[in-house]
Structure 1
Amino acid sequence: MKHTIVMTGASRGIGRVAAEHILRQSPDVHLLVVARESYGARLAAELATGGRTVSHVPADLGSLDSVRQAATEIRDRLDRDELPPLRGFVGNGGIQYTNALTEGPDGLEATFTVNVLANHLFVRLLQDRFAAPARIVITVSDTHFGDFKHNLGMVPGPAWKSPDALARTGAFPKPDTTAAGRTAYSTSKLAAIYLVHEYARRLPAGIDAVAYNPGFVPGTGLARNADAVSRFAMRRILPVMTL
């Protein structure tokens, strides 16, 4: 049966692999990728090979206003029957900064905005358009453990606070440091897990919520804002350790 899956973070890394896997395993799916306007059309064209059905909607996940516009466009396309029934949302978009002071256009801390609020806003605005059975999948991370076993001690553990505080810059000590930026990342991933638990409690029957932890995945673009040494390690050294 034809159905739609909306996906963020499909342009690279595990998201790109997941998007290709979804299209390969589900020939009836219409994959709607959310990506920046400068890249969305090209991404959709690259994925839409072999007769696959892929379209895109432009959005900057760092801007809640942009996310709201994208979700509204998706709702409108569903209402006009331009898309088959919505049966999935994959919230894979994520970012990590080298400080906890980076603001988005809404004046909110950028890590929390992209990793938590953007996905949540999509879910809330699309909630009444899901056709059961449906599934929401949010990508989480081992970093919320904050120990050597799970992330080789590279990322400090989360420092939980009220979401009102976490959504603002300077929520952690020495907010201008890389350690604070990585703490913001691990805390945002813990927030995503809490969010999925709340979805499971609150969403109507027939809409499942899943937190997916891919484990240790070096070589992606997650560390693109890190210093040169860290970027080199993520691209060249850490992939070898997966062996």
Structure 2
Amino acid sequence: MQHTLVMTGASRGIGRVAAEHILRRSDHAHLLVVARGASGARLAAELGAGGHAVSHVSADLGSLGSVRSAATAIRDRLDRGELPSLRGFVGNAGTQYTNALTETPDGFESTFAVNVLANHLFVRLLQDRFVAPARIVITASDTHFGDFRHNLGMVPPPAWKSPDVLVRTGAFPEPDTAAGGRTAYATSKLAAIYLVHEYARRLPTGIDAVAYNP
């Protein structure tokens, strides 16, 4: 059965490999990639080579307004029948900064905004368009463990706080340092796991939520 999968972070790295794998394994998937500016059209053309069904929607994941516009465009395309039924969302996009002071246009700390808020906003705005069985996959990371065994001491442990604190800059000690930026990253990956647990608890039967650690 034809179905749509929406994916962020498909342009390079594990996301690109995953996108190519999805298209090889599922002849019925229409992959809709979310990418910034003109890169989306280029990515869709590259992934669609060989006859795969791939399209794109433009969004800057650092802007919640841009995410909202992209999700609205996807909803409209689904409602008009331009896309087959929505059965999946892959939130793979992520970022890390050399500090914990980088701010989005909305005034949020950029790591948390991209790695957590953008994915969550997509899911919330598309939630009523998912057709069961459907699956939501959010990319996690070993960095949330914060120990030598999992990250060889290269990343400080997460420092969990209330989300209304984490979403603002300066939530961690020495926020102007690389250690502050890495702490923000590890904490955002812990937040992603908490988010998936909440999805599993709240989403309707037939919509699965998975935290994938590559």
Q: TM-score over 0.5 for the alignment?
A: yes
- The answer for the alignment partner of 2:105 in structure 1 is 105
- The answer for the alignment partner of 1:187 in structure 2 is 187
- The answer for the alignment partner of 2:10 in structure 1 is 10
1:164 maps onto 2:164 in alignment: yes
Q: Which amino acid aligns with 2:81?
A: D
- The answer for the alignment partner of 1:237 in structure 2 is none
Give the whole-Å Cα distance in 1 for the aligned partners of 2:63 and 2:85: 27
Using the TM superposition, give the Cα deviation of residue 38 of structure 1 relative to its aligned residue in structure 2, in angstroms. Answer: 2.3
- The answer for the alignment partner of 2:149 in structure 1 is 149
Q: Which amino acid aligns with 1:44?
A: A
Identity %: 83
Give the whole-Å Cα distance in 2 for the aligned partners of 1:17 and 1:151: 22
- The answer for the alignment partner of 2:28 in structure 1 is 28
- The answer for the alignment partner of 2:126 in structure 1 is 126
SS in 1 for 2:149: helix
Using the TM superposition, give the Cα deviation of residue 49 of structure 1 relative to its aligned residue in structure 2, in angstroms. Answer: 1.2
- The answer for the alignment partner of 1:66 in structure 2 is 66
User: For this pair of structures, how many residues does the alignment match?
Assistant: 214
The alignment's C-alpha RMSD in Å is: 0.4
SS in 2 for 1:37: coil
Give the whole-Å Cα distance in 1 for the aligned partners of 2:38 and 2:184: 28
- The answer for the alignment partner of 2:209 in structure 1 is 209
Structure 1: gaps of 5 or more residues: 215-243
Give the whole-Å Cα distance in 2 for the aligned partners of 1:143 and 1:127: 28
Give the whole-Å Cα distance in 2 for the aligned partners of 1:151 and 1:61: 26
* TM, length-normalised to structure 2: 1.00
Using the TM superposition, give the Cα deviation of residue 55 of structure 1 relative to its aligned residue in structure 2, in angstroms. Answer: 0.2
- The answer for the alignment partner of 1:240 in structure 2 is none
Q: Which amino acid aligns with 1:141?
A: S
- The answer for the alignment partner of 1:46 in structure 2 is 46
1:139 maps onto 2:136 in alignment: no
